[in-house]
Amino acid sequence: MKKTLWVLCVWMALGTTVCVAEEKTSGAWSVGIHGGVALPTVREAVDGFSETGWSSSSMVGASAMYRWSNGFAVEIGAQRYTFELEEGASKFGTLELTPIVLLVKYQGLPQGDRGFAGHFDLGGGVALGKFSKGGFVTDLERATGAAFAITTKPSFVFQVGGGVDYFLTKWLSLNVDGRWLFTKMGTDWSAQGPGGAAALTEIDSFHVSNFQFIGGARLWLR
C-alpha cells in the first residue's frame, strides 16, 4: 500500500514539473480512451465479514476534456470493470461497477508539437453497480429452495490521480496514469423461501475502493 502511494505521488510530482515549461496555446477539446487494471485496496469487501475480498479486474474507459489556455481543465469520464466477490474458495458473485466522474485537472503541453507533458486531477461523481449471483449463492438456493435477491445502490465516488503524457503529434498523445478511487456502495440482500421473505440486514454495503494502473490515448481538437 505504501509503495503504491509513493508511485502515485511521484507521478503527480512529475506531472507538475513537466507542466511548468509548456507551449502557450488557446483552449482545446480532447477525447480519450484508456484501459488497465484495477486493484482493490480494502481488507474487508463486506462489512463484518473479514475474510471477504475482491479479485483484481481489467478495466476500460473513455472521457472528454476541455483545457483552457492556462493549463487548467475539466474532464468527464466513465469506466467499467468487474470484480469477483470471494471468501476463500467460495465465489459469491460478480459486481459490474461503472463510475462516472467529473474531474478538475491541470494538463500540461510540451514545447512544440511533440514531447513529454504531465497532468494531475481530482474530482468525484457517482458509481453505478450491478451484482450477479455466483456459484456459492446459486448452490445455496438449490440446497435450501430459497431465492436470493441482491441489489446495489448508486454511491458517491472520490478520485485522485496523475500521470505522464507523450505527444506523438499536435493532435495525438499517449498517457500512463495512476488513479485512486474511493467508494462504499450500499446493498440490499433478501431471501424468499417456503417460509416467507426475509431481509438480510447484516449485509448492507460493499467496500470497492481501488487503485488503477492505466494506459491510454487522447485525440486533441485544436
Strand, helix or coil for residue 168: coil
Fold of 2-221: Porin (2.40.160)
Residue 83: per-residue pLDDT:
96
Burial class (CB in 10 A: 0-12, 13-18, 19+), 59: buried
pTM of the complete model:
0.84
Asked whether residue 19 carries a pLDDT value surpassing 90, the answer given is no
Q: Are strands 115-133 and 90-107 parallel, antiparallel or unpaired?
A: antiparallel
Residues 95 and 50: their CA atoms lie apart, in Å, by: 18
Residue 14: per-residue pLDDT:
46
User: What is the overall mean pLDDT for the chain?
Assistant: 88
Residue 157: per-residue pLDDT:
98
Residues 116 and 28: their CA atoms lie apart, in Å, by: 18
Cβ density class 84-93: b for 16+ within 10 Å, e for less: ebbeeeebbb
Residues 4 and 142: their CA atoms lie apart, in Å, by: 42
Show the DSSP H helices in the chain as ranges. Answer: 2-20, 135-144
Least confident of 29-38, 61-70, 127-136, 194-203: 194-203
pLDDT-above-90 percentage for the chain = 68
Stated length of the chain: 222
Asked whether residue 104 carries a pLDDT value surpassing 50, the answer given is yes
